[in-house]
């Protein structure tokens, strides 16, 4: 997985870091952990990316965005979708988790806690604004299928919770 500028050509890293998931504009595709491999030969780039959620329509637009952006910088580009390893929310970097929170989205909890929250209604999701876990689920689906809508009962703010995905 490509994580830091040391993993690939520095210029390519800077360009790729500017590309974000259309559903989570605050997170670059690097933070999201979907860029698995980048090969550069002359001006031709080959990139392996992992789809996030099966059927998430975001992937086509991410592939197009990568090709389009790299072409603007004078590269030709081939984007491959790689299904193995399958993406999980564990692929999101620590920087990415913090950015989600800053963006007002509660980052995914562990698989076990996630189940307790979504199926047993336990109050475990910290509000991204005031950190209170006195939050309740309003709807299984938030602004996108990857998220659930919550409301904090302390500061009363509604927020999205990024569901755990394995
Ligand atoms: Zn709150």
Q: Which residues contact 120 (CB under 8 A, 6 or more apart)?
A: none
108 and 74 in one domain?
no
Distance 120 CA to ligand 1 centre (A): 21
Distance 133 CA to ligand 1 centre (A): 8
143 and 75 in one domain?
no
Distance 122 CA to ligand 1 centre (A): 16
Distance 20 CA to ligand 1 centre (A): 27
Q: Rounded to two decimals, what is the model's pTM?
A: 0.87
Domain of residue 18, CATH code: 3.30.300.130
Question: Which pLDDT score, from 0 to 100, does residue 57 have?
Answer: 62
Kindly state whether residue 121 falls inside one of the protein's structural domains: yes
Distance 149 CA to ligand 1 centre (A): 13
List the Cα angle 36/42/44 in 5-degree steps. Answer: 50
Distance 52 CA to ligand 1 centre (A): 28
Work out how many domains the chain is built from and give that number: 2
Question: Which pLDDT score, from 0 to 100, does residue 159 have?
Answer: 96
71 and 110 in one domain?
no
Domain that holds residue 65: 10-91
Question: Which pLDDT score, from 0 to 100, does residue 86 have?
Answer: 86
Strand residues in the chain grouped as ranges (E): 20-21, 24-28, 35-41, 44-49, 76-81, 105-106, 135-139, 147-152, 158-162
Tell whether the torsion through CA atoms of 161, 132, 116 and 29 is positive or negative: positive
114 and 83 in one domain?
no
Distance 33 CA to ligand 1 centre (A): 28
109 and 132 in one domain?
yes
Distance 69 CA to ligand 1 centre (A): 38
Distance 140 CA to ligand 1 centre (A): 19
The CA distance from 158 to 156, in Å, is 7
Q: What is the mean pLDDT of each run of 10 residues along the chain (166 residues)?
A: 91 94 84 94 95 67 92 96 88 94 94 93 96 95 86 97 88
Distance 98 CA to ligand 1 centre (A): 16
């Amino acid at each position: 997985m490509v994580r830091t500028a040391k993993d690939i050509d520095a210029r390519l890293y800077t360009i790729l870091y500017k590309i974000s998931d259309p559903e989570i504009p605050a997170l670059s595709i690097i933070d999201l952990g979907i860029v698995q491999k980048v090969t550069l030969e002359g001006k031709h780039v080959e990139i392996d990316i992992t789809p996030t959620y099966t059927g998430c329509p975001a992937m086509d637009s991410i592939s197009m965005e990568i090709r389009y952006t790299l072409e603007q910088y004078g590269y030709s580009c081939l984007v491959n979708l790689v299904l193995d390893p399958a993406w999980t929310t564990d692929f999101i970097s620590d920087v990415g988790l913090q950015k989600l929170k800053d963006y007002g989205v509660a980052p995914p909890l562990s698989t076990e806690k996630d189940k307790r929250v979504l199926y047993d209604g336990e109050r475990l999701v910290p509000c991204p604004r005031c950190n209170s876990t006195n939050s309740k689920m309003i709807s299984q689906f938030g602004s996108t299928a990857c998220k659930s809508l919550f409301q904090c009962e302390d500061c009363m703010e509604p927020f999205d919770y990024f569901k755990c995905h394995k």
